[in-house]
Amino acid sequence: MWSLKIAFVFILFCIIACSPRAEFLPDGENLKPATVGEPYYLRVNILGGRALGGPKWILGSVVPNDSGIALRYCPLPSWRITKQTTDTNDHNCIEIYGVPNKTGVIKITIGGALYGHMLASGSEFSKIYKLQVTQP
């Protein structure tokens, strides 16, 4: 009877521990500050599994949308591109870039999903960052 209980606990642990869950670098809520009129660039890495990608996936939003800041997928490193590669974007990496044109707080939302595997189904993720923009 004890062996059955131990097996059940082990299986339950494996299912919970193996579920894909996204983590982000940088991990906090606030990004490094930006200055009006100066170029801004930051990479956000998504860890925890392979992110779904392709033309139907929207990677996120920037509010207000006329702030001068935009999002795009990072390009794949050249060593990962082969003749069979059809999508040269790295869906586990997002670039936040642009030249901010007004002061205030910019809200950046990044969302998507991770592929599942044999022990767990895929999972969706969402992360909200705040970018403080100041005058020079």
pLDDT tens across 43-53, in order?
Answer: 999 988 878 77
pLDDT per position as a tens digit, 33-91: 999 999 999 999 998 887 877 666 667 899 999 999 999 999 988 887 888 877 778 88
Count of domains in the chain? 1
CA dihedral 109, 50, 47, 117 (to 10 degrees): 110
Lookup: tokens for 124: 């969706």
2 lies in some domain: no
* CB 44 within 8 Å of CB 26: yes
Which sign does the torsion angle of CA 43, 47, 50, 52 carry?
Answer: negative
Cα 5 to its chain centre, rounded Å, is: 38
13 lies in some domain: no
Q: Which domain holds residue 28?
A: 20-134
Radius of gyration for the chain, computed over Cα atoms and rounded to the nearest angstrom:
19
CATH code (residue 120): 2.60.40
1 lies in some domain: no
12 lies in some domain: no
